[in-house]
Amino acid sequence: MRITRQFWFSMGHTLHNHDGKCVNLHGHNYRLLVTIYSDVLNDQEMVMDFGNLKRIVSDIIDRDYDHRFLVDEKDTRASALKLVDPTVSVVSFNPTAEMLAYTIKQQIIAQLVNLQVSNLILWETENSYAEV
Protein backbone atom coordinates (compact mmCIF):
# COMPACT_ATOMS: atom_id res chain seq x y z
CA MET A 1 0.00 0.00 0.00
CA ARG A 2 1.08 3.56 -0.65
CA ILE A 3 0.25 7.04 0.59
CA THR A 4 1.28 10.30 -1.09
CA ARG A 5 1.45 13.84 0.22
CA GLN A 6 2.41 16.99 -1.62
CA PHE A 7 4.41 19.98 -0.43
CA TRP A 8 5.39 23.35 -1.87
CA PHE A 9 8.44 25.51 -1.27
CA SER A 10 10.37 28.35 -2.89
CA MET A 11 14.12 28.12 -3.38
CA GLY A 12 16.88 29.75 -5.38
CA HIS A 13 19.93 28.12 -6.87
CA THR A 14 22.55 28.28 -9.57
CA LEU A 15 23.91 25.36 -11.55
CA HIS A 16 27.65 24.86 -11.55
CA ASN A 17 29.43 24.20 -14.84
CA HIS A 18 26.21 24.62 -16.84
CA ASP A 19 26.14 26.13 -20.32
CA GLY A 20 22.54 27.38 -20.23
CA LYS A 21 20.57 30.10 -18.46
CA CYS A 22 20.49 28.13 -15.20
CA VAL A 23 24.10 29.09 -14.53
CA ASN A 24 22.61 32.46 -13.50
CA LEU A 25 21.23 33.06 -10.03
CA HIS A 26 17.50 32.24 -10.14
CA GLY A 27 14.70 30.56 -8.24
CA HIS A 28 11.66 28.32 -8.52
CA ASN A 29 8.43 27.50 -6.75
CA TYR A 30 8.83 23.77 -6.24
CA ARG A 31 6.12 21.14 -5.83
CA LEU A 32 7.16 17.94 -4.07
CA LEU A 33 5.22 14.66 -4.08
CA VAL A 34 6.37 12.04 -1.58
CA THR A 35 5.00 8.49 -1.71
CA ILE A 36 5.54 6.12 1.22
CA TYR A 37 5.16 2.35 0.82
CA SER A 38 4.63 -0.54 3.19
CA ASP A 39 3.61 -4.18 2.76
CA VAL A 40 1.96 -4.09 6.19
CA LEU A 41 -0.43 -1.57 7.72
CA ASN A 42 0.27 -0.35 11.25
CA ASP A 43 -2.01 -1.04 14.23
CA GLN A 44 -4.24 1.84 13.12
CA GLU A 45 -4.56 0.22 9.67
CA MET A 46 -2.44 2.93 8.00
CA VAL A 47 0.79 2.93 6.05
CA MET A 48 1.64 6.05 8.04
CA ASP A 49 -0.33 8.93 9.50
CA PHE A 50 -0.40 11.81 6.98
CA GLY A 51 0.35 14.20 9.84
CA ASN A 52 3.58 12.34 10.68
CA LEU A 53 4.64 12.40 7.05
CA LYS A 54 3.88 16.12 6.92
CA ARG A 55 5.99 16.77 10.01
CA ILE A 56 8.99 14.78 8.72
CA VAL A 57 9.03 16.32 5.26
CA SER A 58 8.13 19.85 6.38
CA ASP A 59 10.95 19.85 8.94
CA ILE A 60 13.44 18.93 6.19
CA ILE A 61 12.07 21.48 3.73
CA ASP A 62 11.88 24.28 6.31
CA ARG A 63 15.39 23.63 7.61
CA ASP A 64 17.26 23.08 4.34
CA TYR A 65 15.35 24.37 1.31
CA ASP A 66 12.42 26.78 1.72
CA HIS A 67 13.46 30.37 1.04
CA ARG A 68 17.10 29.31 0.77
CA PHE A 69 19.64 29.77 -1.98
CA LEU A 70 21.76 26.69 -2.82
CA VAL A 71 25.13 26.76 -4.54
CA ASP A 72 27.58 23.93 -5.22
CA GLU A 73 30.79 24.13 -3.17
CA LYS A 74 32.73 23.68 -6.44
CA ASP A 75 31.20 26.86 -7.89
CA THR A 76 33.77 29.67 -7.79
CA ARG A 77 31.02 32.07 -6.65
CA ALA A 78 30.12 30.02 -3.55
CA SER A 79 32.27 31.85 -0.99
CA ALA A 80 31.36 35.28 -2.36
CA LEU A 81 27.64 34.44 -2.22
CA LYS A 82 28.00 33.14 1.35
CA LEU A 83 29.89 36.30 2.29
CA VAL A 84 27.14 38.53 0.87
CA ASP A 85 24.39 36.49 2.52
CA PRO A 86 25.19 34.05 5.36
CA THR A 87 21.89 32.21 4.75
CA VAL A 88 23.20 30.92 1.39
CA SER A 89 23.61 27.14 1.63
CA VAL A 90 26.83 25.84 0.13
CA VAL A 91 26.16 22.19 -0.67
CA SER A 92 28.33 19.26 -1.76
CA PHE A 93 26.38 18.65 -4.97
CA ASN A 94 25.19 20.58 -7.99
CA PRO A 95 21.61 21.58 -7.00
CA THR A 96 19.90 20.22 -10.11
CA ALA A 97 16.33 18.98 -9.86
CA GLU A 98 17.66 15.42 -10.01
CA MET A 99 20.15 15.89 -7.17
CA LEU A 100 17.66 17.81 -5.04
CA ALA A 101 15.10 15.02 -5.45
CA TYR A 102 17.71 12.37 -4.60
CA THR A 103 19.00 14.30 -1.56
CA ILE A 104 15.52 15.02 -0.18
CA LYS A 105 14.59 11.34 -0.61
CA GLN A 106 17.67 10.27 1.36
CA GLN A 107 16.84 12.77 4.11
CA ILE A 108 13.29 11.40 4.38
CA ILE A 109 14.48 7.77 4.39
CA ALA A 110 16.75 8.57 7.34
CA GLN A 111 13.64 9.57 9.35
CA LEU A 112 11.52 6.50 8.56
CA VAL A 113 11.27 3.23 10.48
CA ASN A 114 10.08 0.10 8.64
CA LEU A 115 8.79 2.19 5.72
CA GLN A 116 10.11 3.02 2.27
CA VAL A 117 9.95 6.05 0.01
CA SER A 118 8.65 4.33 -3.10
CA ASN A 119 8.53 7.47 -5.22
CA LEU A 120 9.49 11.11 -4.98
CA ILE A 121 8.70 13.69 -7.66
CA LEU A 122 10.10 17.20 -7.52
CA TRP A 123 8.46 19.66 -9.90
CA GLU A 124 10.89 22.50 -10.63
CA THR A 125 8.51 24.25 -13.03
CA GLU A 126 4.97 23.62 -14.23
CA ASN A 127 6.45 21.64 -17.13
CA SER A 128 9.53 19.94 -15.67
CA TYR A 129 10.17 17.49 -12.86
CA ALA A 130 12.70 14.96 -11.59
CA GLU A 131 11.61 11.60 -10.24
CA VAL A 132 13.51 9.22 -8.02
Question: Annotated catalytic residue: which of 16, 45, 73, 124?
Answer: 124
Question: Annotated catalytic residue: which of 26, 67, 73, 131?
Answer: 67
Q: Residue 10's pLDDT band (boundaries 50, 70, 90)?
A: very high
- The stretch 24-30 carries a mean pLDDT of 98
Q: Is 18 a catalytic residue?
A: no
- The structure's pTM equals 0.96
CATH topology of domain 2-131: Tetrahydropterin Synthase; Chain A (3.30.479)
pLDDT of residue 116: 97
Q: What is the DSSP track for the chain?
A: -EEEEEEEEEEEE--TT-SSGGGS-EEEEEEEEEEEE-SS--TTS-SS-HHHHHHHHHHHHHHHTTTEEEEETTSTTHHHHHHH-TT-EEESS---HHHHHHHHHHHHHTT-SS-EEEEEEEESSSS-EEE-
Q: Each residue of 71-109: pLDDT tens digit?
A: 999 999 999 999 999 999 999 999 999 999 999 999 999
Q: What are the sequence ranges of the domains in the chain?
A: 2-131
Q: Is 98 a catalytic residue?
A: no
Q: Is 124 a catalytic residue?
A: yes
